[in-house]
Structure 1
Amino acid sequence: MAWLYLFIAGVFEVVWAYAMKQSDGFTRPWPTAVMAVTIAGSVGLLALSMRTLPLGTAYTIWTGIGAIGSFAVGIIVLGEQASLIRLAAAALITAGLILMRIASPA
């Protein structure tokens, strides 16, 4: 169950990052509210996952899901640049996440 909590926490990480971008510096109330709720949910689920998972594993996977997910949202939704070097960097982060998962206890 810890891995599921951690995955959902990572998805919330992506949602709050996107909502923060949409809040336009906290000047738009709805995106700001979505951001606040999903930050709380993300950190809460991360804490639940840490009951079982090691700190280094949980935090690395959580931030990695957030980073890669936000990167993908930036390209797909916001039309940000998808250069070869940026895609290679994202692939390296993803490879690191996979290795972290493989090397971690169940």
Structure 2
Amino acid sequence: MSTDEDRERLAGHLAALPVRELVDVLRRVLPHFEQEAYGMRTALTLANVTWYEDDVDPGLDVELVAWPDRDHYGGELGPDQGLWENGRCPRCDVEVTSNAKRAHCPYCGTACALT
């Protein structure tokens, strides 16, 4: 078991990472918390949430953060540009975002081509 100080130190290290490196670390951790029971599968994922304060169409936009396709990027994490690439998972039909145009859905692992 870790202490509050241990967790705070870890949080400080994670907060210091650029987004693409933080996403890569979480890609290695979050899948360990998947569960299957009663015919359902649940998974922890990272999401990017945007609130639009628009008079015509206000609302919340939630996108799952897709893992960059490291094979496509020669083992690297893709461009260091923030979460600017968007699209849909062709299998889950969920909205995803990534720093890379080629990424994998964090829920099902399907390759996604983002724009």
Range into which the TM-score falls when normalised by the shorter chain: under 0.3
Q: Which gives a bigger RCO, structure 1 or 2 (Cα 8 Å, sep 6+)? A: 1
Q: Which has the higher helix share?
A: 1
- Per the normalisation by structure 2, the TM-score is 0.27
- Per the normalisation by structure 1, the TM-score is 0.28
